């Protein structure tokens, strides 16, 4: 409704937004629970009537737009809260009511304390989605927020545009994460790292500047950051030579022994495999 300014969301726009948000949330699970909180009650309108004026036009609009409740919240100021049978785009309807001679003022029933906002801007067939995730102390507007911006084509092709954080207070506590971008480790806000091909290292891992000197940074190709001879833990783990496969005396064992060893390998993993096959104590 906000996108078109119409009282009710047209099917085409509504369906496209549903599709686009599904694609965005599938690409970024952090956004699965970020929904748009309207800044006004979507089924209500606040109307202040001119004292003692005829209300024919007001009553006609109430009937036409299917008001189910007309509640006077101030006799002195003649302020009514109208509740409609369905959600409507209140700013547009407020303008309609405001044209009546018996209406002094009409406006949406604004609410405080919204936290998440989704804003859409159309740029031809491309739509840009700004998704703001607010948190902490939101009763009068959130102290902290994270905002993702995406571009979506008419054909459902998603592009990440930007990520930003707001919250200069210590309690906002935005997390930084080591992140592998095109083979280089960078410290980034954790949510930004997870977007589109960026590989978060996980909690507690920082860029190490290739401390073991094997040419790759921790998590950015080197998953054994303290072992200069290994970059992958393989089966036996970092710091352990992977000799098990070469030591398996396959021709020397019976079929049943091979089956038992195979089952043990499946159940217990590498440690048993190395011990069984080579006699090593690990």
Q: Residues interacting with Ca ion, by CB under 5 A?
A: 210, 212, 214, 216, 222, 224, 227, 231
Q: How far is the CB of 225 from Ca ion (least distance, A)?
A: 5
Q: How far is the CB of 180 from Ca ion (least distance, A)?
A: 12
> What's the DSSP call for residue 50?
P
Give the C-alpha separation, 19 to 274, whole Å. 51
Instruction: Give the nearer residue to Ca ion in terms of CB position, either 36 or 227.
Output: 227
Residue (107 or 242) nearer to Ca ion, CB:
242
Distance CA 100, CA 109 (A): 19
Write down the number of H helices and E strands in the chain.
7, 13
Residue of 14, 35, 40 whose CA lies nearest to 24? 35
CB of 187 to Ca ion, least distance (A): 17
Min dist. Cβ of residue 201 to Ca ion (A): 13
Q: Which is nearer to Ca ion, 115 or 208 (CB)?
A: 208
Query: Other CB atoms closer than 10 Å to residue 213's CB: what's the count?
Result: 8
| End-to-end CA, the chain | 65
Residue nearest to Ca ion (CB): 222
Smallest distance, Ca ion to C-beta of residue 217, A: 6
Query: Which of residues 229 and 268 has its CB atom nearest to Ca ion in the complex?
Result: 229
Task: Residue 40: name the closest of 6, 89, 82 by CA.
Answer: 89
**Angle (CA) 69 70 71, round 5°:** 105
User: Measured from the CB atom, is 38 or 221 closer to Ca ion?
Assistant: 221
Determine how many CB atoms are found less than 10 A away from the CB of residue 215: 10
């Amino acid at each position: 409704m906000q996108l078109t300014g119409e009282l009710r969301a047209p099917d085409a726009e509504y369906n496209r937004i549903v599709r686009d948000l599904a694609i965005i949330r599938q690409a970024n699970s952090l956004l699965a629970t970020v929904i748009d909180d309207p800044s006004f009650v979507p089924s209500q309108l606040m109307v202040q009537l001119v004292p003692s004026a005829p209300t024919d036009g007001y009553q006609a609009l109430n009937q036409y737009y299917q008001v189910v409740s007309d509640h006077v919240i101030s006799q002195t100021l003649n302020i009514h809260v109208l509740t409609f049978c369905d959600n409507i785009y209140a700013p547009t309807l407020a303008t309609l009511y405001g044209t009546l001679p018996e209406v002094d003022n009409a406006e949406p029933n604004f609410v405080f304390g919204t936290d998440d906002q989704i804003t859409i801007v159309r740029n031809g067939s491309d739509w840009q989605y700004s998704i703001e995730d607010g948190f902490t102390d939101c009763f009068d507007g959130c102290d902290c927020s994270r905002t993702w911006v995406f571009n979506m084509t008419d054909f459902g092709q998603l592009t990440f545009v930007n990520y930003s954080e707001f919250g200069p207070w210590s309690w906002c506590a935005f997390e930084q994460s080591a992140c592998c971008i095109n083979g280089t480790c960078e410290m980034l806000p954790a949510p930004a790292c997870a977007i589109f091909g960026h590989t978060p290292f996980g909690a507690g891992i920082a860029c190490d500047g290739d401390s073991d000197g094997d040419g790759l940074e921790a998590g950015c190709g080197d998953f054994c950051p303290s072992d200069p001879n290994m970059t992958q833990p393989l089966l036996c783990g970092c710091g352990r030579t992977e000799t098990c496969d070469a030591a398996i005396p396959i021709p020397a064992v019976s079929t049943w022994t091979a089956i038992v060893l195979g089952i043990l390998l499946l159940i217990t993993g590498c440690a048993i495999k190395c011990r069984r096959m080579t006699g090593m104590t690990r």
